Amino acid sequence: MARIRSTPPPAEPSPPIPDRSLDPEGTLPTMIVGASGYRAYVYRKMVDGPQGAASPNLGDLVRVIDREGQHVGFALWNGRSRIALRFVSRGVTPPDLAFWTARVERAIALRSNLLGLDLATNAYRVIHAEGDGLPGLVVDRFDDVLSVEIFSLGIYQRIGPILDLCAARLGTKHFRVNVDERVALQEDFAGRPLVSPDLPPLVTVNEHGVRYRIHFDGSHKTGFFCDQRDNRRELARYSEGRSVLDACCYTGGFGLNSLIRGKAADVTCVDLDEKAVALVRENANANNVRLTAIHADAFGYMRQMGINERLFGVVVLDPSKLIADREEVAPGKRKYFDLNVLAMKLVEPGGLLLSCSCSGLLPPTEFLGLLRAAADKAGRRAQLLGFGGAAGDHPVALDAPEGSYLKAAWLRIDDQL
């Protein structure tokens, strides 16, 4: 569920949508695990094997027991993946259509009833994988379109009936389904993109009074980052009369909130993705405002601004995922450090830096340590005003804490005394 800005392959022609039944299919195979604890999944190396002669097929729902024969729960099986078992239920009754329906209903009720998101926006996360007890599934709603990312073979096989449940409850008319190439390799299946007939090429969504265009062809992830919704709204508090730099801006959400809701003096949005820069300009036009959108690498642009001695009252640093796997931890941390050194040097004394990381493999304590080291390197004094994460429609299951991937540090930057 972390944000990798990858461009999916073309979604046409779309194959038939998989429609494996949500009801148990006969007698379930039983898998034995060496250790399960309270994790939402089990790695392949911890699976001892099936009990009895019946071996599961890829994507099967299976019953899971421990070495003592004690019931653990029910999970989706993929023996080709490093994550072999993804738990669906810890109950004693196999999940059926009524179970899946209740899971979807509960996820939607969180957004509609408790969070009241329908009153604030028509763009929000409907299902957040393990956080909603539906492992390997991410569903975002953009007006009448359900935009889906799948991280599990078992979910991919059942996506048709699951989307039917969501559409019946939400009243949506269209869908698009994407499987990232990295996920397809990890899960070892050809997760072809799927689209509903007559899927519109774009939709317009409204978030806290700001309009955004979402183009589905070639978009990143599901098409829009709902996780930063609350942080975008909060940034407006600090923007009035200030110059704002939205580095790594993608759709320009932070910059637009600063300009429209925060009454910033001026806003500069920077992104290396030329399509993103074009989308920023389109979003500005949709809101009848003017900002500066620059096609450039954030590193190079901020270095040049430092040479020019240009300062900003607010700087937002929200790069794409810099640590995608454990081999990238060291170089990714270095990139975060370098970016923040450059950003801190551009904040005027007493100004604000909102520094974000969506790398789940970078723990909050290490991220804060990087920021502290960056402030020392930049010769600036940084005060932490707040530390947050994703909006409430991205709940985190306590048995899958890695779902808490987004980190947002609100820093007041000043000169060293």
State yes or no: pLDDT of 398 exceeds 50: yes
Q: Could you tell me the residue ranges of all domains in the chain?
A: 30-89, 97-200, 225-415
- Cα-based torsion angle of the residue sequence 250, 254, 257, 259 in order, rounded to the nearest 10 degrees: -90
Q: How many other β-carbons are positioned within 10 Å of the β-carbon of residue 66?
A: 14
Q: Strand ranges (DSSP E) for 169-233? A: 174-178, 194-195, 202-207, 210-215
Share of the chain above pLDDT 70, in %: 95
Q: How many other β-carbons are positioned within 10 Å of the β-carbon of residue 43?
A: 15
SS3 of residue 282 by DSSP: helix
User: Residue 222: its pLDDT value, please?
Assistant: 83
Averaged over 136-148, what is the pLDDT? 96
Q: Each residue of 243-273: pLDDT tens digit?
A: 999 999 999 999 999 999 999 999 999 999 9
Q: Each residue of 214-243: pLDDT tens digit?
A: 998 766 678 899 999 999 999 999 999 999
Q: Cis omega (within 30 of 0) on the bond before 9?
A: no
- Cα-based torsion angle of the residue sequence 235, 236, 239, 240 in order, rounded to the nearest 10 degrees: -160
Write down the pTM of the prediction. Answer: 0.91
User: Residue 7: its pLDDT value, please?
Assistant: 46
CATH class of 30-89: mainly beta
CATH class of 225-415: alpha beta
Residue 373 structure tokens: 């080291």
Asked if 48 and 32 count as a contact pair (C-beta separation under 8 A), the reply is: yes
Q: For residue 314, what are the β-bridge partners?
A: 244, 352
User: Residue 363: its pLDDT value, please?
Assistant: 94
User: Residue 13: its pLDDT value, please?
Assistant: 60
Asked if 159 and 150 count as a contact pair (C-beta separation under 8 A), the reply is: yes
Q: Which of 37-51, 292-306, 316-330 has the lowest mean pLDDT?
A: 37-51
What is the CATH code for 97-200? 3.30.750.80
Averaged over 17-27, what is the pLDDT? 93
State yes or no: pLDDT of 12 exceeds 60: no
Greater confidence (4 vs 411) lies with: 411
Question: pLDDT tier at 417 (50, 70, 90 boundaries)?
Answer: low
